[in-house]
Structure 1
Amino acid sequence: MGAAMAAWICIIRYHQLRDWGVGKWFNRLILWTGLLCALGTSVVGNFQYHRQKNQLPTHLIGAFFALFVGNLYFWLQLFLFWRMRSLPQPGAPWIGPLRLGLCSLCTILMVAMVILHSWPLRSASAACEWAIATLLFTLFGLFAVDFSCLDSCTLCLQPGPSLSPPPASPISLQIPL
């Protein structure tokens, strides 16, 4: 799954949470942390080959967004899951504890990654980095459970306040899932 797919998942999740009545500021916080994680994934993926030579700062910024902000994104999702028990909870009852375990493991690996990087154990630090990336993609994959109740998605484009007046009916695009 690429960065574009992660960004789409964050956008669909934003609209799903909005429809469930999640507060506007909290939902936007979740959306932006998810989009920054997707951006970081894209940056790391595009600059991985040149990392050793001249793109190390770019790689480190992308890694921060992908790993640290990505972990924050899933902790926010988990907080919302536990706090808002009135929200629909699709899937088996073990999905929540699984997410808790994966988020905890990501956090532990991040601490280990930073410590190992500060010591001369760069290979072990890189192994932690790849393990975190794999766990984050697994957490993104678990959204399939949350999206299992979606039959289709409708995208409605509406002009902003500075654009021309709206057409007689909003333009909609049906996307079968």
Structure 2
Amino acid sequence: MWGYLSLLPAFLALWAITGVWTVFALAVANRSVNLTEGFPYISLCGSYPPQSCIFSQLLNMGAAMAAWICIIRYHQLRDWGVGRWFNQVILWTGLLCALGTSVVGNFQQKNQLPVHLTGAFFALFVGNLYFWLQLFLFWWMKSLPQPGAPWIRPLRLGLCSLCTILMVAMVILHHWLLRSASAACEWAIAMLLFMLFGLFAVDFSCLDGCTLFPSATGGKK
């Protein structure tokens, strides 16, 4: 079971990346978006049927997988000796990211813009925070296991840093009414977050079991 579970993060990354670009292709094909007018935001591509239905299903299933990954990660970190308070902060940050992703899929931009933007904030900005907290944890607790090759940690740092830079650029470019450039930043941010989730496959590859219920010791079984 645990061997197959280690593939879940990689499957999520593949599912999400393939899915959003499929939605983009459908939106272009049926002319829901016009590339001659500029590069569209992800949400604009998923605002009109039939791709809006695919968009909702895609993000709902992706959110469910992301939430499950965050829960498994919580128990893995607990079994590695991470304190309960900080571990729960990380967990709830990840769950808010998953919830925001589902909200983005279910409340389309053209129907419920305020709710949609709130979901996008949780999915993108809080999602980025989730991975920064993971990096801070491993910097702070140097005794934690470091699965995978030595370059995995610098890769994560690079992806998180680039994601943050692009978020700032996205907001500024949108404010300057450079919507195509801002939308390109949004697409890049989404791809980076998907890849960061996918990298959990490295951590889960050494997962040979963990307790998935409250425990005073928090040890492996």
Q: TM-score range by the shorter chain?
A: 0.7 to 0.9
Match 2:95 to one of 7, 20, 35: 35
Which letter does structure 1 place at the counterpart of 2:179? R
Identity percentage over the alignment?
88
Match 2:147 to one of 90, 93, 97: 90
Q: Which has the higher contact order (CA 8 A, sep 6+)?
A: 2
SS in 2 for 1:43: helix
Rounded to whole Å, the distance in 2 between the matches of 1:93 and 1:137 is 21
Rounded to whole Å, the distance in 2 between the matches of 1:157 and 1:74 is 24
How far did residue 56 of structure 1 move? 1.0
Partner of 2:106: 46
Which letter does structure 1 place at the counterpart of 2:128? N
Q: Which runs of 5+ in 1 are unaligned?
A: 159-177
Rounded to whole Å, the distance in 2 between the matches of 1:157 and 1:11 is 12
Could you tell me whether the CA contact under 8 Å between 2:75 and 2:211 is conserved in 1?
no
Which letter does structure 2 place at the counterpart of 1:74? F
Could you tell me whether the CA contact under 8 Å between 2:75 and 2:212 is conserved in 1?
no
Q: Which range moved further: 147-156 or 124-133? A: 147-156
Correspondence list, 1:88-127, <5 A? 88-127=145-184
Partner of 2:86: 26
Which letter does structure 2 place at the counterpart of 1:138? M
Partner of 2:203: 146
SS in 1 for 2:142: coil
Which letter does structure 1 place at the counterpart of 2:99? L
Q: Over residues 17-41 of structure 1, what are the superposed CA-to-partner deviations in whole Å (9 max), with x where a residue is unaligned?
A: 1111111110010000000001111
How far did residue 45 of structure 1 move? 2.2
Which letter does structure 2 place at the counterpart of 1:44? V
Q: Over residues 125-175 of structure 1, what are the superposed CA-to-partner deviations in whole Å (9 max), with x where a residue is unaligned?
A: 1221121111011000000000101134554589xxxxxxxxxxxxxxxxx
Q: Which runs of 5+ in 2 are unaligned?
A: 1-11, 13-61, 216-221
After TM superposition, the score normalised by the length of structure 1 is 0.83
Partner of 2:187: 130
Residues 21 and 155 (structure 1 numbering): CA distance in 2 closer, same or farther, change over 3 Å? Answer: closer
Could you tell me whether the CA contact under 8 Å between 2:75 and 2:210 is conserved in 1?
no
Which letter does structure 2 place at the counterpart of 1:119? W
Partner of 1:171: none
Partner of 1:167: none
Kindly indicate whether residue 62 of structure 2 is the aligned counterpart of residue 7 of structure 1: no
Could you tell me whether the CA contact under 8 Å between 1:81 and 1:96 is conserved in 2?
no
Which letter does structure 2 place at the counterpart of 1:20? W
